[in-house]
Each structure stands twice: as structure tokens, then as C-alpha cells.
A = this chain, B = another copy of it.
Amino acid sequence: MDKTSFGYRAWFQPTGSFSTFSGGKYALFAEEEFQRGHVELFGEDKKGVSFEINKNLPAEGFSITGDATTAKVEGGCESGLLYGAYRLLFALRRGEQTFTINDKPAVPLRILNHWDNGDGSVERGYSGDSLFWRNGMVGYDLPRLRDYARLLASVGINQISVNNVNVRLLTAKLLTDEGLNDLEKVAEVFRPFGIKLLISVHFDSPVWLGGLKTSDPADPKVADFWNEAAARVYKRIPDLGGFLVKADSEFQSGPNAFGHTQDVGANVIARALKPHGGTLHWRCFIYNCLQDWRDTVTDRPKAAYDTFFPIDGKFDDNVILQVKYGPSDFQVREPNSPLLGAMKATRESLEFQIAQEYTGQQKDMYSWAVQWEEIFDQPFNETRATRDLVGKEIEAVVAVSNTGNDENWCGHLMSQSNLYAFGRMAWNPALTAKEVTEEWTSLTFGKSDIVADGVDSAVTKMLLDSRHVYEKYNAPLGICWMVYVHHHYGPSPDGYEYAKWGTYHRADHKAIGVDRTRKGTGYTAQYQPYVRDLYENLDTCPEEMVLYFHRLPYDYKLSDGRTMIQYIYDTHFEGVEGVEGFIRTWESLKSKLPDEAYAHVRKRLDMQLDNAKEWRDVINSYFYRKSNIGDEKGRRIYI
């Protein structure tokens, strides 16, 4: 592990030659971090910068005033001051000379979920093994965790869960004294960076750990178990953020197994956390994962809303329901979940996935920032976009992490931009993809108006294009799920078609898609009326997700006059051409890039090109074989 490598340093790239931190002489942690960073970025301490707590500022807010020789950083609390310190470092790295920065987070909780298993593996991890776990021990590499904490804090992330929501025995023990011995040390590492820990707990912990015969939340002994567990944990880690639970989902136990609604299960754990100030994050990813494909009435996207909306108001005030952005599962194109903002008397968080499970698995370049901006843009009703809810009705933004113990943290160097963008857009959902991508690119590769090399603008363009290029060669028009079962990389158009996961497109010789309007499964009725009508009406339904809501024949005419099948062929050829364009751009930058970074990304782009061609040919062939309609332009479709 070369800690001075381009990949490891991520967006803390030095402008000159790398120097080792001399360190440890400043009183405030924020100032210490600033000077450490300054030495690493510029080779020396920075003179003339002052750091001060100013309680008139919002707690996590900060201001930076002055100029490059005499700057003043003030923070509403130590975290705010730390955020200011990093922001000043980044501003200096970008060559800014005078500062009038006033900033504060729009969203109080900016959370990263790690799907890390006790054996060191990472579910949906594409960046090596866990940074936290090895052989059942958490925190085996504390020095690296400290560098990781710095990365996360520098973009404003302030809570992390350290173990997979699919909790197994090795990580269930985090509720025991033995497990807490390790976790306490991890908390100590993250604490000065303003980052609180969360623990994913298993709903059956009362049985697994407490020796009880049931986990029924109505059983007083179960409540006792949770009370004792919470007390035990908070004694050791008083500032723990709380617990995270995946219940009644994909073979996990939950209140439903005991005949209760979700609130009954959540509240018993929430009440145990309450005296300690802890929050319970309760995931809403609940659906029937043993559906019969012959059943055309059940419609998986309806499940979360049907489960939770009727019990709005029944959750304790320290429960936050964690809702995935879309009703399917982190797909490349979905409408937003109708549950977001719908529960007026229940706290909610919005869950993203930085890990590229369905979006190229960090082999393919993919900018989540662009998709997140689109998600924020989606309407909640006639007057408000989803963005307008964030920081208000939706008080937390959560994401599944894309990090692991690869030298460059994220598998693909370009995927670092997604980790960066998540922190920035969770802090301020009004930031555009372009803005945060430019920030990341200029910090990572240097800024053109200083070094005049055009790298930052070229890389920014690649990233901003990457989401739509990927979508072009993927499943078309919001149809989703045309991937190999389980591993989710590569095209398998019928892969889920006859399986039990509730994800069907029902393509036949003439048409494809599921009618989810009120004439069909009725899914659209879960939206606010304005949005419902928008999606129900073919004239107003956003074309890029038209097959999410409608079943349409292959010769359906899209708005530009093309048939749907021709659009499918066209976009799939264009997707491959887009990747070829990325390769040309990247090769044109070769002389201006560090060898390590050039070679690494070049290799990934080759993998992406293979993947894009595979998608193009399989999808085109699949639709040709079904429809018997050829490409108007006579391009090659494998028959």
C-alpha cells in the first residue's frame, strides 16, 4: 500500500512534491488538520491563518474570510471549524486568493452505510475488501481508517455505519462487550473528524445474543434485551449515532414475522436508544422476494409504500425511515419512490448507492452526481421538486459506500468522484453535478486556469457524459433489470424474467413493459396527483422512463418520430461510440497525466468498452429475435 500514490491521496493531491507531515504542534484539531494538509499539498506550513470557534455560526457551519496570506476560519463548533479548514485547503489548491465563504449544511445527517461483512468481504463491494473488518475483528488497520476519516470529513460526511445491513453472526457481536472493545477504538479514530458511528443490528439479536426464544417486539423480555444492549453500547461509545436495521426484507427477520406492523418492531428498539440520544434508522426496502412470475397483480414497486404509508405517524420520534431513491433497486433509471415526502408525520431519509452495483461495478465509468441531480429535479408535486424536500421533510441523505481497501479506495479512480460528490450534494442538494464534478476534477488533477492543460475540463466532460453513455447501452427506457441474476454485471435480458424477485418486463413478439397506471397495476396512484397524471399520460411521461410505467409495442412512435425499437438500436450503437470517445479523450490527455492515473483509467476504459459492446449486441439481438424488426440503418445485429 503506497500511501503517497495518486490513487491513495484521492482529492488531496499535492501541487508540488510530496512532503511528510511534521505535525502535532497546534492546539485545535482543525488547525492541526489544516497544517497537515498544507504540508502535504504545498510542502510547508501555512503562515497567517487563524482558527476560531464562533458560536454565532450554525453548529456545523463555517466562514472563511481574508486572503491567501491572512485568512480567518471560524466554525460554529469543532466540526464546523474542521469543515472550514478543509474548504480553505481546497480553495488554496484551486488557486483562490481571496475568501468570502459562508457555508453550512442543508442536511443535518450525511451518512455512509458500509455493507461490510465480518469476514472482510464487502457485499456489492468493487474496491477490494473491507476497510473495517478482517476475520471478525473491526478496526484492524486504524492508521488507514484515520486517512479514511479525513477523506469523508473533508466532504462533510458525519455518520457512518460500519457493518452490512445484512447482519450475520460475526458482526452481530458489535452489541457485546467483546465486539465493543474493537469498535470503541474505531469510534476514537472517527470522533475528532466529527463522524459518529452507527451499528447495523439484526432483528433477531435477542435470540442470537440474548439467549431468548423469540425476537417478538411485543415480548417484554425482548424490550429488556434492547434496553440492555443500548445501555451497554452507549456506555462505551456515548456519541454513537444509533442503530440501522434491515427487517422483513430479503430473508431477514422482522416484526412482520410475528404478526406486527413495522412500527411495532422499530419502536421497541428506538425506545432503547432514546435515553441515550440515539436514532433508529429503519430501512423501507421491503417486498415479496418470493413472487411467482405468473402473478401479474403483485407489483414490486408498490410494496414499500403499501407497507409504510398506512402507518404514518406510528413511529417514535427517534425513528427515521430510510427510503431508497427509487422503488426498484438502485437502477440506472427509475422514478423516485412515491414514499419520499409522502409520510407527513414520520421522519425520512433518502438512500443512494455510491457502489455501482447496477451501474458498471466500478469497472465502467459512471457519474452518480448526474443521476442524483436528476433525482433531486424530479417533481414531488406541482410546486416542489424532490430537492425542495431534502433538509426538510427528508432530513438525512444516506448512501451505500463504494469504498474498500484497494489502494485508490474506490476501485476505479473516477469513482472517487462519486464519493466526493455524495458528500458535497448531501451537504448542499442545490449543487449541480457540473459544480461538484469540477471541484473534484480540479482538486484531483489540478485546475486548468493555473496549469493551463485542459485536463480538468476534459475529465469533467467525460464524467458528466458518463451517466448517459452508460444508460444508452443498458436496458432501455427505464425497463431495468436486464442483468445476470445475483451479480448484476452484464446483460441477461431474461435473467430475472421467470425468477422470484418481482422484476418482470414481459417482453413478447409485439411489446414490452408493465402497465403501472391505474388501468394496470395501479402503482402510479401512489404518487401525488400531479405526478401521477404526469406519468400516466404518454404525452407527459418522461420518455427516458416510459417503459417503467407503460407497456408499449416495438413500433410505438417516440416524440422524435422514431419507433421505439429503432430508438433502442440507435442508443445501443451510440453507447459504444460514447465509450470509444472516452478512450480517445483519455489518450489525448496522456502526456498531461500522471502515469499511474493514466494507465489505471485506460485499463478500466478497455473493460468498459468490452462491457458496452456486450450490452449493445445482447440487447439488440434480444429485441431483434423477439420482434423480427431489423435496424433501419442496416448495422450489424447478431442473429
Contact = CB atoms under 8 A, between A and B. Distances in A.
Could you say which of A498, A509, A621 has the most chain B C-beta atoms within 10 Å of its C-beta? A498
A626 interface: yes
Nearest to A294: B638
Given A484-B485, A498-B491, A626-B625, A508 B294 contact: no
B485 A617 contact: no
B509 A618 contact: no
Interface string A607-638: 00000001001100110111110000000001
A510 interface: yes
Contacts of A450: none
A374 interface: no
A492 B614 CA distance: 20
B508 A628 contact: yes
A639 interface: yes
Interface residues of A, number: 28
A507 B485 CA distance: 21
A508 B294 CA distance: 22
Nearest to A621: B498
A627 B294 contact: no
Nearest to A636: B294
A293 B613 CA distance: 12
Nearest to A627: B509
A493 interface: yes
A293 B617 CA distance: 10
Contacts of A510: 628
A618 B492 contact: no
A494 interface: yes
Interface string A276-287: 000000000000
A484 B622 CA distance: 18
Given A492-B498, A498-B492, A508 B625 contact: yes
Interface in A117-136: none
A618 to B, nearest CB: 5
Interface in A507-523: 507-510
Given A485-B484, A494-B494, A618-B498, A624 B294 contact: no
A617 B628 CA distance: 24
A623 to B, nearest CB: 11
A639 B484 contact: no
Contacts of A294: 617, 638
A628 B627 CA distance: 10
A554 to B, nearest CB: 11
Given A485-B484, A638-B294, A628 B509 contact: yes
Contact of A509 (B491, B495, B626): B626
A507 B625 contact: yes
Contact of A626 (B484, B493, B499, B626): B626
A495 to B, nearest CB: 8
Interface string A483-508: 01100000111110011000000111
A639 B508 contact: yes
A494 B485 CA distance: 12
Interface in A457-494: 484-485, 491-494
Contacts of A621: 498
A493 B627 CA distance: 17
A503 to B, nearest CB: 14
Contacts of A499: 492
Interface of A: 293-294, 484-485, 491-495, 498-499, 506-510, 614, 617-618, 621-622, 624-628, 638-639
5 contacts: A293-B618, A294-B617, A493-B498, A509-B509, A510-B628
